[in-house]
Chains A and B, each alone.
Chain A
Amino acid sequence: MLRKLCLTLRCGAYNVRQNFKGVDVRAHPFSGRLMAEDADKQEPPSLDEFSERLDRARGETDGEKPQRVSGAAWGRALRVSTDMLAGLIVGILLGLGLDRLLGTSPWLLLAGIGLGFAAGLRNIGKALKD
């Protein structure tokens, strides 16, 4: 049951992609190329076989790869600024809070600004690494 569901889901993505290319999948349920492959077979292909060939076909026609990479790059660019800012804010807030708690104003605030700045840079470093 679960396997069937998974398969359905994967077929869906494949069919949509084929539809985008202007190939009418519904006319040939198992799509033109896949159909040609088993033209010599009389029996309808089993789900396992179909899944296997679907994977192969997807490997060949993965045209959306570059798009996903550019989306990730966009996301990364947007991450950097807020990551820096958030590090600084947390550093300042921690410094202020500890100062109030321990009565050491303004030394921990100054340390917090420095460490927060470093943490912001560290965030950026991490964001650019993954």
Chain B
Amino acid sequence: MLRLKAAGPMEQFEILPIVKLDFGGLDISLTNSSLWMLIGLAAILIFFFSATRRVSIIPGRLQSMAEVLYSFIFDLVRDTIGPEGRKFFPYVFSLFIFIFVLNLFGMIPSIPGTPAEIHTFTPTSHLIVTLALAMLTITIVVIYGFWKNGLGFLRLFAPSGQPLPMYLILVPVEIISFLSRPLSLAIRLFANMFAGHIILKVFAGFVVSLIGAGGGWFLLGLAPFLGVTAVTMLEFLVAGLQAYVFAILTCIYLSDAAHASDH
């Protein structure tokens, strides 16, 4: 008889402190979430340092990968924001790579038997992480918008060419629409990662329980097993796609800020 224990679907999202730290009453412990962010950051740094260590005109494998990523985001920024988007390229690129790597690393299976603190963790499945990234984007949009257009940035809230009484409704609607942007950005990434990981865990739990039930039950376990295989592939797609969507929306919002006075 196999002795397998299925963890609950929510256990994977638990924040566990690894090194307890305190900063003036503020809890700044190193948690499993921050550990996986650091791992992601280290992986990105190692990848790009080794890819650009020896740069040649005819690139090797690593350099090609780095170049494809670079030109992919470069084209995205140039096509969405226009020529003045150049200065935002480093930000959008870092954002994309960071989210992409965190999402992908969340797909690594945990090693059984290791303490829960070092189990694989997806920081982007927490609303506070994605909200922080979204607020960073919106802060840049607001500061750049006012810096570039002055008070003309406020024209974003009053689209021209409407009859005067319409502005009574239009302005609050546009303000709410603007305020909903960071929330929409954050919720989209968080909800996709969160829901995907729950589905994975639930399906995998079915497989484990059916095998554990013994007898002919394990044959029934084949169906959720195929399901979990399909969902895993879908999750890889979602990991890339959500990082891409976050990057492209950042570009669209920055483009709005850059061209606010043309509205």
Contact = CB atoms under 8 A, between A and B. Distances in A.
Contact of A12 (B64, B181, B241): B64
B18 interface: no
Q: How large is the interface on B (under 10, 10 to 19, 20 to 34, 35 or more residues)?
A: 35 or more
B110 interface: no
A118 B68 contact: no
Contacts of B68: 12-13, 16
Interface string B179-211: 111011001100110000000000000000000
Interface stretch (A34-42, A78-86, A99-107): A78-86
A59 to B, nearest CB: 14
A19 to B, nearest CB: 8
Interface in A2-24: 5, 7-13, 15-16, 19
Contacts of B63: 12
B56 interface: yes
Interface residues of A, number: 38
Contact of A26 (B58, B173, B176): B58
Contacts of A89: 180, 183
A63 interface: no
A9 B71 contact: yes
B74 to A, nearest CB: 8
Interface stretch (B3-11, B23-31, B37-45, B244-252): B244-252
A83 B70 CA distance: 28
A71 interface: yes
Given A11-B59, A29-B58, 13 more contacts: A8-B55, A71-B244, A75-B245, A78-B188, A78-B192, A82-B188, A87-B177, A87-B180, A87-B184, A94-B176, A116-B176, A119-B180, A122-B173
